Amino acid sequence: MIPVSFDYLAPTTLDEALAALAEHGEDAKVLGGGQSLLPVLRMRLNAPEVVVDLGRIEELRGIREDGDTVVIGAMTTYADVLADATVTEHIALLHKAIAEVADDQIRHRGTVGGAIVHADPAGDVGPAVLALDAEMVIAGPGGRRTVGAADFFTDLFETAVGEGEVLVEIRLPKHTGWGAHYEKFVRVSHQWSIVAVAATVRAEGGTIAEAKVALANMGATPLRAKATEVALTGQPATDVAVREAAASAADGTNPPSDLNGDADYRRHLATVLTRRAVLAAAGS
Amino acid sequence: MAKISVKVDGVTYSDDVEARMLLVHYLRESLGKVGTVVGCDTSNCGACTVHLDGRSVKSCNMLAVQADGHEVTTIEGLADGDTLHPVQQAFHDCHALQCGYCTPGMIMQATSFLKDNPTPTEHEVRVGMEGNLCRCTGYHNIVRAVLAAAGEGGGSQ
Amino acid sequence: MTAVAERTALEIGAPRKRKEDQRLITGRTRWTDNIQLPGMLHLAMVRSPFAHANVTAIDTEAAKQAEGVVAVITGADIAATQGACANAWPVTTDQKTPAHLPMVVDHVACTGEIVAAIVARTAALARDAAELVDVTYEELPAVLDAKEAVDDTVLAHPDLGTNTTAVWTLDSAGQGTGGHVDDAIAEARVDGIVIERDYRQQRLIPAFMEPRSTVVDPTGEQITIWSSTQVPHILRFLIAATTGIPESKVRVIAPDVGGGFGGKLQTTPEEFITLAAARQVRKPVKYTETRSESLVSAHHGRDQYQHLTLAATKDGTVTGLKVELIANLGAYVALVGGGVPVLGAWMFNSIYKFGSYRFTTRNVLTNTPWVDAYRGAGRPEATYAIERLMDELAVAVGVDPLAIREQNWITHEEFPFTTVAGMTYDSGNYEAATARAKEIFGYDALRVEQKRRRDDLDPVQLGIGISTFTEMCGLAPSRVLGSLNYGAGGWENAAIRMLPTGKVEVITGTSPHGQGHETAWSQIVADRLGIPFEDIEVLHGDTAVSSRGLDTYGSRSLVVGGEAVVRAADKVVEKAKVVAAHLLEASEADLEFVGGRFGVKGTDKGVGIAEIATAAFTSHNWPEGVEPSIDAEATYDPVNFSFPHGTHLCAMEVDTETGATTMRKYVCVDDIGQIINPLIVEGQVHGGLVQGIAQALWEEAVFDDNGTLVTGSFVDYTLPTSADTINYESEHTTSPSTTNTLGTKGVGEAGTIASTPAVVNAVVDAVRHLGINDIRMPLSPERVWRAIRDAGSAATGDTP
């Protein structure tokens, strides 16, 4: 199908983009990589009057190190993240999650920032940035502000990015030396996750010194499995110990029921997949 | 209407297009590049795959205006005159197509994939081609063809 | 034609690469949607969001005023001229058949029905205007499920008075091919084994890759219709029959068609409406559906409830099978919709020797999209049921599932064999195919591994699934179709034109959409005429070129259409022989035809068939009283069906923690008779397998309580990808069909028919020791997990 008619703006600087958004208010829709927005426009589920394409703003692209932090421009494509050695070395979990996003073609166009702002609860980037305690830098008419991942995802397809604002970059604390694994459960490979678990673990000897675990599609937003994280701390990276800790992975979640599974099945999956993700991340 | 300039299969075109026009419709309707086809409306099937600046993308999942200033290669620009690209040749040799509707997208994805990974394993091919649906072949011969093309240097072209 | 038969075949059996490929791999294909004509306009449909409703008002004013709009069409506007979507196969004389108008006039019977259409200058403007059409609906209660339809509480068509369109029965006792099944069951209840099961054939969507498209050009003397269809000839006939346009004024062209699988074996509302629109505006009009439209408005497949009762002796010899179906036909009885479950009637007994058999199908209407042929059409459903039951019987007897099959199947010495359903199988060798499959599969080693995993309480369990299947192909002998009240014959037509330069055009009435007829028919003709493969062009899919034909479906093309090609070629040789005798001044009896050349026996004198074609062009030296042409046409009506068969073995791993299933190995050995092109055959097998596997594991059309299709895009209708499938090991045994010259049996549907039960049997086998004997398709991880959990809690007495 063909989208409704709209006006198209392609600013080349962030300031121009913010000005355009300020001018058009709620009539405007931000176009990132477009891999989620285009299907929505084609199905006419959304009919913006103006589309503001961020694709020509160079300052929103790129990956750099800033001390103990890796900074990823919001318009950096998945493919560019996957090819980046800094990401692989310091935030391996993000690499592993993004490797599972959709397919090759989508990863060539889709952007990290676009996925984060789209905030599909079944998306792969959300749980990774949540587990990695990332911070999102948001620019608006009043300047820039930073929101932690824990506060960023506010509801189904909703984030802290407000009208007239743009996600500029994602700041991810380095987790150098941490093991990482992204366990995605689907029926066919091009599906969104039924449930997915992002886990990153700092192991000392055979012991889990620290673990961070986040879940996809277990509620309206990506969720941290806090109870499991606490239970894992100081435990040996064995099947028995991790199994016990993972049993609480679904605590406090509110998973959906749909074609691919009812909520109770998803709760069960979360525990199994958490165990597998943590063991894999711990290298066991 | 927006003015765009796009190089497609080696030729630069300048056109006024509606902002809402999808790249695939620009290729098919404005340029007559009907080798690239539309198979779905949710970016699942990959039938519309072309190369944008040398990398595979789904041309139904981007606007023509987004291609302004870029270079697009379609299935029609892949062969070197009458000499088929090794991936095209491998699809023919391995009977990797039946109805042929998914074939342009499959071939464009395979060529892009092999550029990134010139010597893939069978498993890597299967995952690398996951964004392209085929209803006829059961993928068996498609996977065979991509592996055969890799052996013939299809990845280095 | 003994001389021809003795020739060494050069082409038949050779793995020729396909002629079709060149245009397809370079993007020079002719899809219907590629067509651009001068002044062409575009059509967009307004579709009902409701499953059941009366249309009380349609306000088209805003749409008419919209930019670029040429016409807005409602059902009332074209009620008299639009024609009808016909049902060609009323399965009983009292079948209730609701009128199926392409565009709704006042009653919507399922979601997606078309209530209005916009003709505009571009497809985008047509879509924009479609959203401005304001339709007032009066919603009616909808019946969606076939079982719920049976009691007529809610009627899909209130004016029909019932949801049951037909009840069709085949009884071995009644037709004299076996005993009374109820007697066999009663006997087995006393001193034997009775297995009673309910299986569900979920609804599937054919999901061909090319969305359907139609272009109608009404500006010439003939109205030309290009359509993405499997059945151009049937479409032309039914347009003439239902619109009143003389058949001679209609030309239908099926250009390159991107897959069908039965899904384009239909005359569709969209085709009729595009025709009506083009006639109204007197300009060429194009309609191309979106994928979302396609999934809801192209016909669906399967959707049956099966109640099965199998009777056997204590040692496992089957004495009777009773089949009671409820088939959901959807909102209308589509082209052959009512006949699809009936086609299964001869296949439930499969390769086995049963003493008694009764089959009944109750065909019901519901407020869902119509259901019709999908790859296999009635036969996969039957094969699934019996192959699942044979596994259950093996468990009841306590023997290996292969042993129970061997105990009951027809042995190769027994052919020809008339089955309890009344079919005469001409040939087959189930022992040979099974032995070979077992060997390739490594059956015994996998059984050992299965036991080890069970003993180790491995969270990943292994199961082996078996499917020994047969099918009836080569649809169909016309007299049989006539006896079944089918509206057409089952013959096929072919013609051969010998061009003056010695090149050949073959015209076939089959209408390929991916099968490779251009290649295979060339191979056949190359051998029969001794003309190089490259010099042969196969023309099809255009009623102006191939005026007679019954198109492509039901694995009929090679068995029926290929035989017509053979016969046309043989007529060419016969005609040419007369001319050769004249040119060589020899008697016909002294001629032999070898390698495309008539030679005078014992001499080196001879003349090539290509030279004779040239001689026909000039006709300067031609025998007296003989018409100056060696062209020929043949129409072939098969004398029987063909019966391919095979043994499929599948190993599945089941992750008992998540319910996820993974295919480990799949082996099939099919007997499809003589193979014309092994490359094409393997392609058909692989593709068929994955469609059948997809029914077992992934696909289902799901509606919500309002009748809205939930699996309405490729996001939710989960087709498998390359990453979800494996490589398949496929081999062949050969027992040629005795009913056609080439000895072919058909291969288009074999993989689909056989693989579904093989996969389900394997998954059930993997978890049977946990107390599970069935899981409903598709075997989603959730369903598998729940089965395991529920079986576990049943065993321990826990509440789930």
If asked whether residues C437 and C505 sit together in one domain, one would say: no
Neighbours of C420 (CB within 10 A): 26
If asked whether residues C658 and C746 sit together in one domain, one would say: yes
Q: Is the per-residue pLDDT at C227 higher than 60?
A: yes
Sort strands B55-58 and C417-418 into parallel, antiparallel or unpaired: unpaired
Task: Give the number of B-C residue pairs with CB atoms closer than 8 Å.
Answer: 175
Q: Does C516 touch chain B (CB under 8 A)?
A: yes
Query: Total domain count for chain A?
Result: 3
> Considering Cα of A42, then A44, then A50, then A54, what sign does the dihedral take?
negative
Could you say which of A115, A141, A173 is where a domain stops?
A: A173
What CATH number does residue A258 fall under? Answer: 3.30.390.50
Partner residue opposite A189 with nearest CB, options C131, C710, C724: C724
**pLDDT confidence of C795, banded at 50, 70, 90?**
low
Rounded mean pLDDT of C185-200?
Answer: 98
Q: Do C719 and A188 touch (CB under 8 A)?
A: yes
Task: For chain C, give the mean pLDDT.
Answer: 96
- The pLDDT tens digits of the residues spanning C310-354 come to 999 999 999 999 999 999 999 999 999 999 999 999 999 999 999
If asked whether residues C788 and C662 sit together in one domain, one would say: yes
Q: Is the per-residue pLDDT at B148 higher than 90?
A: yes
If asked whether residues C646 and C788 sit together in one domain, one would say: yes
C-alpha distance from C700 to closest chain B C-alpha (Å): 15
Q: What is the largest CA-CA distance in chain C?
A: 95
Q: Considering the domain boundaries, does residue A1 fall inside one? A: no
Q: Where in chain B is the domain with CATH 3.10.20.30?
A: 2-76
Q: Does A42 touch chain B (CB under 8 A)?
A: yes
Q: Do B98 and C516 touch (CB under 8 A)?
A: yes
A47 → chain C, closest CA residue: C128
If asked whether residues A81 and A47 sit together in one domain, one would say: no
**3-class DSSP state of C118:** strand
- Greater confidence (C800 vs A82) lies with A82
CB contacts, 8 Å: B66 with chain A: 31, 34, 53, 55
**pLDDT confidence of A196, banded at 50, 70, 90?**
very high
What CATH number does residue C520 fall under? Answer: 3.30.365.10
Could you say which of C636, C664, C684 is where a domain stops?
A: C636
B40 → chain C, closest CA residue: C291
A47 → chain B, closest CA residue: B20
If asked whether residues A157 and A80 sit together in one domain, one would say: yes
What pLDDT is stored for residue C7 in this prediction?
42
What pLDDT is stored for residue B154 in this prediction?
65
If asked whether residues A44 and A72 sit together in one domain, one would say: no
**pLDDT confidence of C8, banded at 50, 70, 90?**
low
**pLDDT confidence of C800, banded at 50, 70, 90?**
very low
Partner residue opposite C713 with nearest CB, options B42, B76, B122: B42
CA–CA–CA angle C327, C328, C329 (5° rounding): 105
If asked whether residues A68 and A143 sit together in one domain, one would say: yes
Q: Considering the domain boundaries, does residue C125 fall inside one? A: no
CB contacts, 8 Å: C780 with chain A: 187, 260-261
**Residue C759 domain boundaries:** 426-472+641-792
Q: Does C124 touch chain A (CB under 8 A)?
A: yes
What pLDDT is stored for residue B151 in this prediction?
87
pTM: 0.97
B78 → chain C, closest CA residue: C26
Could you say which of A173, A206, A234 is where a domain stops?
A: A173
Mutate one of A4, A269, A271, A279 to test the C interface: name it (highest C CB count within 10 A).
A269
- For B2-76, which CATH class? alpha beta
- The pLDDT tens digits of the residues spanning C352-377 come to 999 999 999 999 999 999 999 999 99
**3-class DSSP state of C54:** strand
CB contacts, 8 Å: B57 with chain A: 105, 108-109
Q: Considering the domain boundaries, does residue C11 fall inside one? A: yes
Q: Does A159 touch chain C (CB under 8 A)?
A: no
**pLDDT confidence of A1, banded at 50, 70, 90?**
confident
Query: Total domain count for chain C?
Result: 2
Q: Do C290 and A1 touch (CB under 8 A)?
A: yes
Q: Is the per-residue pLDDT at C793 higher than 90?
A: no
Tokens read off for C710: 């939930």
Share of chain C above pLDDT 90, in %: 96
If asked whether residues C690 and C738 sit together in one domain, one would say: yes
If asked whether residues C576 and C675 sit together in one domain, one would say: no
Helical H segments across C675-780, by residue range: 678-697, 750-767
Q: Is the per-residue pLDDT at C11 higher than 50?
A: yes
Rounded mean pLDDT of C85-101?
Answer: 97
If asked whether residues C454 and C529 sit together in one domain, one would say: no
Tokens read off for C425: 């199988």
Strand partners, A212: A200
If asked whether residues A33 and A125 sit together in one domain, one would say: no
Contact C245, C271 (CB under 8 A): no
What pLDDT is stored for residue B152 in this prediction?
75
If asked whether residues C512 and C597 sit together in one domain, one would say: yes
**Residue A160 domain boundaries:** 62-173
CB contacts, 8 Å: C294 with chain A: none
CB contacts, 8 Å: A191 with chain C: 715, 718
What pLDDT is stored for residue C797 in this prediction?
47
- The pLDDT tens digits of the residues spanning C34-73 come to 999 999 999 999 999 999 999 999 999 999 999 999 999 9
Give buried/exposed letters for C511-524 (b at 16+ CB in 10 A, else e). bbbbbbbbbbbbbb
Task: Give the number of A-C residue pairs with CB atoms closer than 8 Å.
Answer: 51
Q: Does A104 touch chain C (CB under 8 A)?
A: no
Q: Considering the domain boundaries, does residue A109 fall inside one? A: yes
If asked whether residues C629 and C762 sit together in one domain, one would say: no
Q: Do A265 and C127 touch (CB under 8 A)?
A: no
Q: Does A102 touch chain B (CB under 8 A)?
A: yes
- The pLDDT tens digits of the residues spanning C542-601 come to 999 999 999 999 889 999 999 999 999 999 999 999 999 999 999 999 999 999 999 999
If asked whether residues A213 and A169 sit together in one domain, one would say: no
Q: Considering the domain boundaries, does residue A2 fall inside one? A: no
User: Which subunits have 3 or more CB–CB pairs within 8 Å of chain C?
Assistant: A, B
If asked whether residues C627 and C656 sit together in one domain, one would say: no
What pLDDT is stored for residue C9 in this prediction?
65
If asked whether residues C501 and C445 sit together in one domain, one would say: no
Separation CA C578–CA C569 (nearest Å): 15
What pLDDT is stored for residue C799 in this prediction?
41
Q: Does B55 touch chain A (CB under 8 A)?
A: yes
Which of C791-794's residues contact partners 24+ apart within 8 Å by CB, and which partners? Answer: C791/C767
- The pLDDT tens digits of the residues spanning C451-466 come to 999 999 999 999 999 9
CATH superfamily, region B86-156:
[2Fe-2S]-binding domain (1.10.150.120)
Separation CA C604–CA A181 (nearest Å): 78
If asked whether residues C679 and C765 sit together in one domain, one would say: yes
If asked whether residues A242 and A193 sit together in one domain, one would say: yes
**pLDDT confidence of C798, banded at 50, 70, 90?**
very low
Q: Is the per-residue pLDDT at A221 higher than 50?
A: yes
Share of chain B above pLDDT 70, in %: 97
If asked whether residues A160 and A66 sit together in one domain, one would say: yes
Partner residue opposite B43 with nearest CB, options A5, A55, A106: A106
Cβ contacts of A64 within 8 Å, gap of 6 or more: A70, A71, A86
Q: Does C301 touch chain B (CB under 8 A)?
A: no
Could you say which of C580, C615, C636 is where a domain stops?
A: C636
